Amino acid sequence: KRHLLGSRTRRAKEPPLVKGWPYFGVILDYGKNPLAFLQAMRQKHGDIFTCQLAGKHFTFVTDPFSFSAVMRQGKNLDFHKFAMGFSQRVFGHCDFTSSLYTEAYREVHSLFIQTLQGPSLQRLSQNMLGNLQTAFQHCKPSGNGWKEDGLQCFTTRIMFEAGFVTLFGKQAGLLQPEGTGSVGHKVKEDFLEFDGAFPALAAGIPIALCRRAWRAREALAKKLLHGELHHRMCISDLIQRRMDAFDRMHLNETEKARTNVCMLWASQANTLPAAFWSLYYTLRTPEAFAAAYKEVELIMAQLPNDTPISLSKEQLESMTVLESIIREALRLSSASIMIRLASDDFILTMDSGQEAAIRKGDYIALYPRLIHLDPDIYPNPMEFMYNRFLDKNGERRSQFYKNGRQVKHYLVPFGSGASECPGRFFAMNEIKLFLMVVLWHYDLQLNEPQGTLSPDRTRAGLGILPPSQDVLLQYRIRADRYME
């Protein structure tokens, strides 16, 4: 009770305590602008401090050199309890941490690596490339005139359709294309409606109170029932093998479908804004555009003239300029938060040697945006520099320094340790392929008002921030390109 009223007092060796209002703590200041709030707290309290946020205590570790110290605490810091609790509340599936399912769920979890990485990755990426070309066909302007659209609408339409079909397969005998037909359009709209409620859901509002989001989620689940998916062709190994595993677990059909909604969200929610920013910065930065186009031209010159295009793993990996553009776009737009639950009282030893006592039941939080925008690591951190992740020879650059010391976790949009995104290689490939196809086939012009577009901060903590508004895009098929 004393805890709930906010009367916790700092014990010996505990990090500085930022209390704020009874119960609410500093949630309002934090929510308004997490980055500015955490920067100010770091200035005042140093590399580690505990904040009360809506009745819970979060200890923020802000020093990049202490990231590994947190990651090493797998025994005392639990990732799955927090993530699964949130997932269960938002997606409405059952509690996979209960002893009834732990063993079977471990098998489901191990499928991520088996089906999203290694040899499966090349197959998945190749399918994505084929589906991207089909999605572009569906929204191709007629003739050679200019067409107008929002850049975000354009990116979302193509990436959602191609990503959805790559994972969940094509509808057999579909007359209407997936993205433009009523079925595909409805799925995308439901996804965006559901995704739009995430800031509220993350703030603890029950989904039952977000009626439209709830309805959208249930509509998506209906579309992703195993019975429906059995009628689709070319389902990815990831979804097929999850379906088989969940069938063996004897869950009911709605529960199983809701885990598919969960996969749909994981595969799209960050990829869509990441693809947006990658194309946005490429189009508004002439040097980035020139370097990217040159790289795409070089690859296309190696390919036979016929379509659909297909790329080898080596060709995909050789596109280091596109990769640097995407990594730089991720650096500027990523605002995910990594949260662990302390399953016991323990001492966290920071990189500096400072010892911090952590209480059982508290959360440890890392906010990589503090690193991504650190001027000591990245000079002029707010500026987009397309070649920031390239060395002098145009090779991938992976050495970054703070105060002369190499930083291991300098770019963590995909999380790290137990919560590292298993789809990260596929995500990078998807966006690379999207940029390649769009730059090759279209003339594109942004029609942007003065100033730089800002990210939508209401989604801080949830992953890649989308833009606060859309930007007008004019595009037409390049005179010398044929997509058929």
Annotated binding site for heme: 421
Can residue 425 be called a binding residue for ligand HEM (CB under 6 A)?
no
d(CA 388, CA 396): 9
Which position among 207, 239, 356, 427 is part of the footprint of ligand HEM (CB under 6 A)? 427
Stretch that binds ligand HEM, among 179-187, 218-226, 419-427, 443-451 (CB under 6 A): 419-427
d(CA 350, CA 352): 5
- Cβ 279 to ligand HEM shortest distance, Å: 13
Q: Would you say 18 or 66 has its CB closer to ligand HEM?
A: 66
Binding residues for substrate: 89, 270
Stretch that binds ligand HEM, among 21-29, 224-232, 247-255, 420-428 (CB under 6 A): 420-428
- Helix and strand numbers, DSSP H then E, in the chain: 19, 17
- Cβ 255 to ligand HEM shortest distance, Å: 17
Q: Which of 477, 433, 223, 463 is nearest to 336 (CA)?
A: 463
Can residue 426 be called a binding residue for ligand HEM (CB under 6 A)?
yes
DSSP bridge partners of 202: none
Q: Which residues contact 329 (CB under 8 A, 6 or more apart)?
A: 274, 277, 278, 280, 281, 384
- Cβ 209 to ligand HEM shortest distance, Å: 23
Burial class of residue 355 in the structure, from the number of CB atoms within 10 Å of its CB (0-12 exposed, 13-18 middle, 19+ buried): exposed
Contact (Cβ atoms closer than 8 angstroms) between residue 167 and residue 264: yes
Which position among 17, 83, 104, 121 is part of the footprint of ligand HEM (CB under 6 A)? 83
d(CA 90, CA 198): 8
Binders of ligand HEM among residues 325 to 344 (CB under 6 A) are: 336, 338
Can residue 413 be called a binding residue for ligand HEM (CB under 6 A)?
yes
Can residue 151 be called a binding residue for ligand HEM (CB under 6 A)?
no
Can residue 259 be called a binding residue for ligand HEM (CB under 6 A)?
no
State both tokens at 128.
């994505």
Which position among 184, 423, 455, 467 is part of the footprint of ligand HEM (CB under 6 A)? 423
Q: Would you say 3 or 81 has its CB closer to ligand HEM?
A: 81
Burial class of residue 404 in the structure, from the number of CB atoms within 10 Å of its CB (0-12 exposed, 13-18 middle, 19+ buried): exposed
Which residues contact ligand HEM (rule: CB under 6 A)? Answer: 83, 112, 116, 266-267, 270-271, 274, 336, 338, 413-415, 419, 421-423, 426-427, 463-464
